[in-house]
Amino acid sequence: MTRPSPSHILVPPIVEELKSDALKVITQNPAKSLKLYPKKGAIQIGSDADIVVMDKDLNIEYVFAKGKIMVKEGNVVVKGTFE
């Protein structure tokens, strides 16, 4: 029987924390800097829930803003101030 090494026990929680911190850098932090938080930069009741979906090469595939599709499959569907 092999016991898991400490790295196998510690790595998953650390990775999850790093993901959470990275997400804040591109969501909450800019919204707070622009004094738009929590209306922007959060997914919660009362927030706009704007979402950007990117492919593995970081190309924008979809943009959802205020419940509407603004960009679909990389093509602008609705023009507005978000561009």
Q: Residue by residue, what is the 3-state secondary structure of the chain?
A: CCCCCHHHHHHHHHHHHHHHHHHHHHCHHHHHHCCCCCCCCCCCCCCCCCEEEECCCCCEEEEEECCEEEEECCEECCCCCCC
Q: So what's the pLDDT on residue 43?
A: 85
What does the pLDDT look like over 46-80, one tens digit per residue? 998 788 999 999 899 999 987 889 999 999 999 87
For the chain, domain boundaries: 1-42, 50-83
Q: So what's the pLDDT on residue 16?
A: 84
What does the pLDDT look like over 36-46, one tens digit per residue? 999 999 988 99
What does the pLDDT look like over 4-55, one tens digit per residue? 665 566 678 888 888 888 888 889 999 999 999 999 999 889 998 788 999 9
- pTM summary value: 0.60
